[in-house]
A = this chain, B = another copy of it.
Amino acid sequence: MAAERILITGAGGFVGQALVRALAGTRPVIATDRTGLDFADLPSVTALPGEIDDPALVAALTAEPLAAIIHLATIPGGAAEADPALAARINVAAPMALIDAATAHGNTPRLLFASSIAVFGDPLPPHVDDLTPARPMLRYGAHKAMIEEWIATLTRRGAVRGLSLRLPGIIARPLAPSGMKSAFLSNLFHALKAREPITLPVSADATCWLLSRRALVAQLVTALDLTEDPATARLNLPALHIRMGELVAEVARQTGADAALAAYAPDPAIEAAFGAQPPLSTPAADALGLTHDGTLANLVAHALADL
């Protein structure tokens, strides 16, 4: 049983909580986060709260061999810009130390790393595909690209079976401040559902790559058991390419709200970073059976189900 155990970091977050619940019952899960570990109803889940850069926590998390690690813990975009030293510690030093500790047993754990489309930076080229090079502009994106490089090296060395998955915008997150500059994408859902006005910092023609939590969790669960080509160390996840005006209209339709509650006041920096995402091709992920929400209507329905 021990060799089946899966460690999930960032398990108290929006994605982590759903991922723990999706995997609990199928195998033993060790869940860690600085907060939010509410899994008392799940006997197969061991909750070990703490700071992921605390050596004592890392030692406890890796005391027994792990079959897999899904590393979600991170300091996201805006929060990383606000505290560069903390972000470097949590986003770069911590995963390096965690992986070294986890591989000290000599087995070769599966390692899924939640990277981000932030590795592409801005401006983006007219089309993004599996060969588009990383060119981050945010500290967060650079940290993700650095750990991708580290995991690719450890995979070549045979220490882990690593796969870095670049996450697009995940909707709809809770309304609480998340440190994410892309929070407006989720806040739209909360506003229209509550019949409240919202001013979006992008234009109606802004285009974004979006994925629901449900579809992301399904991709992570699938990726856990993939035996892809070891050279495939980095994957862009399938996501829908959505125009902001169409998203507003569909959220309004499904919530019964007036689409006019959403106003557009484009901030050039936000539009460039989060609202100018071109068509996306993900042939490598497609070939592995990873899939997005399918349709805008599904995406919005899945996102509203999380509110």
Report which A residues bind B (CB closer than 8 A): 84-85, 88-89, 92-93, 96-97, 100, 121, 134-137, 139, 141-142, 145-146, 149-150, 152-154, 156-157
Residues in B with CB closer than 8 Å to A85 are 97, 100
Q: Which of B93, B97, B153 is A139 in contact with, Cβ under 8 Å?
A: B153
Closest 8 CB pairs of A and B: A142-B153, A146-B146, A88-B96, A136-B153, A145-B149, A93-B93, A146-B149, A84-B100
Residues in B with CB closer than 8 Å to A141 are 153
- A134 & B121 in contact (Cβ 8 Å cutoff): no
Q: Nearest chain-B residue to A138 (Cβ)?
A: B153
Given contacts A100-B84, A100-B85, contact A137 B157 (CB under 8 A): yes
Cα distance, A92 to B97, chains bound together (Å) = 12
Residues in B with CB closer than 8 Å to A84 are 100
Residues in B with CB closer than 8 Å to A92 are 92-93, 96, 146
Q: Which of A121, A135, A153, A154: most chain B Cβ within 10 A?
A: A153
- B156 & A150 in contact (Cβ 8 Å cutoff): no
Residues in B with CB closer than 8 Å to A96 are 88, 92
- B137 & A142 in contact (Cβ 8 Å cutoff): no
- A149 & B134 in contact (Cβ 8 Å cutoff): yes
Cα distance, A226 to B56, chains bound together (Å) = 47
Residues in B with CB closer than 8 Å to A135 are 152, 156
Residues in B with CB closer than 8 Å to A89 are 93
